[in-house]
């Protein structure tokens, strides 16, 4: 059966105290809206509609960047959750399967939970995801009668008896698409907020002889983000899960609490991660690599047996082949480092290809940017780049070549050649001693003047 996903993301998120729409704030390097999309993707939806309002253009851009097949509905005025879902109705007209509604600010709903909801949908017309709240606060309350969900009462409209219920509404609702929109059509706004509540569809369904039920999940899954402190809590919760998952997957973390993962980090087993390592989005690491302390990785691939760091920075497009070595204070950007090649100290390698078994000496820089354009540096196999070489791109260094330390290489170096591009050394016999005497005399004169 086909499933449509509707993700509500029109709210401003006033409590974030931010110019950025709430759903664009990030957890583990991805906007909240992307987490919601990833959660919903578990259902393999054939349609995904995001309801945007505040900052709609930016929300649309972020959503499409993650998945260009999603559709955007605009809710220009926020009149409540039912009104928000109604904005997706024209796009989903004629959809024959189910629709499931998620919130863009609730990033952690699990695949397993959504699958349980889909199963329950086979038995009931409306399925709501609920949870037992440690502190039910201002959540909507689920009024159950056995397995049947009778109605949902919003906190503002609840009396003391209803407020005493701890079973709360997460906001996730599933129903057959046509049924959902028919019920939403009947929702009014005669309530304490003057809003069109999506939650009212449960009572309306019961009144029409349809059935409704609630599926329960862990409260941690329904964590919604409304403030910066909840954003920090969500980040901490994500990191705790990611660390536990890495350990479970056979990755050694010497100090798990100091390693920060991105939403999409992939690490093979028997990889060792030292202290204080940060993974930004787009990192894959093969089995048996070692990432040493204080390294920062983003958009890169590290192969088996490679050693990175300590204090290394791998930027987008860094591709390290097997058994490569990237050492301290080395930055690699958009560069392929072939098997067994080494860049061990204080270097910048950007927009480059370094051939197998080549060695780059300390302080080497690929001068890839001329102030307007970026240029490529090509270094062959078994090359030795002397310390402090400036490789002014575009430039090619042939296989088995060498550059002398301190060279500024502006022309291609033929294979097997030694390139020296630095001023020649001149020795002046006895001159140093003379210089010392002159300088010491000058100092003595100055010190005397100061007395």
* Contacts of 246 by beta carbon, 8 Å cutoff, 6+ apart: 253, 256, 259, 261, 267, 273
Report if residue 47 touches ligand UD1, rule: CB under 6 A: no
Q: Report d(CA 392, CA 419) in Å as an integer.
A: 13
Report if residue 8 touches ligand UD1, rule: CB under 6 A: yes
Min dist. Cβ of residue 198 to ligand UD1 (A): 4
- Which among 81-89, 301-309, 346-354, 416-424 is the span making contact with ligand UD1, rule CB under 6 A? 81-89
Could you tell me the CA-to-CA distances from 93 to 83, 99, 188 in Å, in that order?
A: 16, 11, 21
Residue 268 burial by Cβ neighbours in a 10 Å radius (0-12, 13-18, 19+): middle
**Residue in the block written with tokens 């940060």:** 278
**Two tokens at 14?**
């006033």
Report if residue 182 touches ligand UD1, rule: CB under 6 A: no
Q: Which of residues 96-155 bind ligand UD1 (CB under 6 A)?
A: 103-105, 139-140, 152, 154
Report if residue 221 touches ligand UD1, rule: CB under 6 A: no
Residue closest to ligand UD1 (Cβ): 140
Cis peptide before 268 (omega within 30 of 0): no
**Residue in the block written with tokens 């989005």:** 281
Position among 197, 238, 279, 348 found at the interface with ligand UD1 (CB under 6 A): 197
Report if residue 40 touches ligand UD1, rule: CB under 6 A: no
Q: Report d(CA 56, CA 11) in Å as an integer.
A: 10
Q: Report d(CA 399, CA 117) in Å as an integer.
A: 61
Min dist. Cβ of residue 241 to ligand UD1 (A): 20
- Total residues at interface with ligand UD1 (CB under 6 A): 28
Of 179 and 344, CB closest to ligand UD1:
179
Length of the chain: 451
Min dist. Cβ of residue 139 to ligand UD1 (A): 4
Report if residue 203 touches ligand UD1, rule: CB under 6 A: no
Q: What is the 3-state composition of the chain as percent helix, strand, coil, each rounded to the nearest 5?
A: 25, 30, 45
Task: Compute the half-sphere exposure of residue 335: CA atoms within 13 Å on the CB side of its CA.
Answer: 32
- Which among 167-175, 202-210, 251-259, 317-325 is the span making contact with ligand UD1, rule CB under 6 A? 167-175
- Point out the residues that are catalytic: 345
Of 75 and 366, CB closest to ligand UD1:
75
Binding site for ligand UD1 (CB under 6 A): 8-11, 51, 53, 75, 78-81, 83-84, 103-105, 139-140, 152, 154, 168-171, 197-199, 224
């Amino acid at each position: 059966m086909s499933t449509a996903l509707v993700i509500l993301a029109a709210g401003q998120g006033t409590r974030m105290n931010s110019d950025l729409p709430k759903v664009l704030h990030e957890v583990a390097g991805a906007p909240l809206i992307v987490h919601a999309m990833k959660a919903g993707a578990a259902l393999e939806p054939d349609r995904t509609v995001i309801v945007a309002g505040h900052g709609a253009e930016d929300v649309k851009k972020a959503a499409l960047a993650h998945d260009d097949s999603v559709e955007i509905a605009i809710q220009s005025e926020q009149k409540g959750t039912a009104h928000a879902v109604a904005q997706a109705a024209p796009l989903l007209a004629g959809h024959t399967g189910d629709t499931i509604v998620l919130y863009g600010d609730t990033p952690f709903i699990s695949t397993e939970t959504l699958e349980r909801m889909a199963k329950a949908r086979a038995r009931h017309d409306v399925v709501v995801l609920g949870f037992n709240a440690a502190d039910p606060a201002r959540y909507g309350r689920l009024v159950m009668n056995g397995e049947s969900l009778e109605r949902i009462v919003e906190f503002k409209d609840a009396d003391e008896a209803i407020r005493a219920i701890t079973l709360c509404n997460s906001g996730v609702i599933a129903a057959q698409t046509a049924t959902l929109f028919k019920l939403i059509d009947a929702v009014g706004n005669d309530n304490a907020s003057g809003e069109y509540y999506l939650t009212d569809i449960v009572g309306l369904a019961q009144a029409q002889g349809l059935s409704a039920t609630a599926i329960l999940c862990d409260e941690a899954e329904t964590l919604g983000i409304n403030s910066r402190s909840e954003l920090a809590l969500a980040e901490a919760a994500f990191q705790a899960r990611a660390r536990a998952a890495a350990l479970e997957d056979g990755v050694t973390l010497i100090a798990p609490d100091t390693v920060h993962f991105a939403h999409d980090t992939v690490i093979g087993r028997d990889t060792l991660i030292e202290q204080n390592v940060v993974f930004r989005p787009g990192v894959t690491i093969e089995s048996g690599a070692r990432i040493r302390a204080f390294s920062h990785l983003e958009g890169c691939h590290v192969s088996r047996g490679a050693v990175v760091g300590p204090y290394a920075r791998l930027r987008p497009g860094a591709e390290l082949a097997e058994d490569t070595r990237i050492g301290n204070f080395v930055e690699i950007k958009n560069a392929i480092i072939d098997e067994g090649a080494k860049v061990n100290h204080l270097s910048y390698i950007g927009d480059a290809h370094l051939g197998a078994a080549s060695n780059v000496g300390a302080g080497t820089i690929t001068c890839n940017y001329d102030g307007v354009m970026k240029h490529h540096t090509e270094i062959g196999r078994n090359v030795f780049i002397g310390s402090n070489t400036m490789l002014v791109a575009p430039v090619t260094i042939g296989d088995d070549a060498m550059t002398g330390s301190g060279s500024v290489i502006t022309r291609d170096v033929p294979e097997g050649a030694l390139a020296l591009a630095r001023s020649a050394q001149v020795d002046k016999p006895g001159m140093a001693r003379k210089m010392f005497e002159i300088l010491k005399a000058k100092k003595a004169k100055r010190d005397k003047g100061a007395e």
